[in-house]
Amino acid sequence: MEIVFLCVANSARSQIAEGLARSMAPEGVRVQSAGSVPTKVRPESIEVMSELGIDISSHYSKSIDDVGLENASLVVTLCAEESCPVLPPNIRHLHWPVPDPAGDPDHPDTLEGFRKARSEIQSLLTEFFSNPRPLL
């Protein structure tokens, strides 16, 4: 099984989801992330993941074309306020609308916004991996 996490820049939410999912997924689950307009992994993403002992410092932003959605068993989009990547109709898909931590007006301290996004994604992944799914 392969899960691909998507957002726009592949710099924060999808990178955080990839790192968390790799640490939480059952044996045999492959995890990747990508973005529709990839940029670079935000240092805040690396920092908040290191707080959990998860090293994503070697991660880099990838485009959807780089990961190839045709092999994905499931695609999870993490966009909230911006436009999510458009997916082919035959792709199994979940949508988790997590606000962009870099633009979180409730948390002007950027690092706190990233922690909030990380916690939300971690909760969603805990629920996902703990409940039986036809995909797993």
Residues with a known catalytic role? 7, 79, 84
What angle (nearest 5°) sits at the alpha carbon of residue 28, between those of residues 25 and 33? 60
Three-state helix/strand/coil letters over 38-80: CCCCCHHHHHHHHCCCCCCCCCCCCEHHHHCHHHCCEEEECCC
Please say whether the beta carbons of 21 and 111 come within 8 A. no
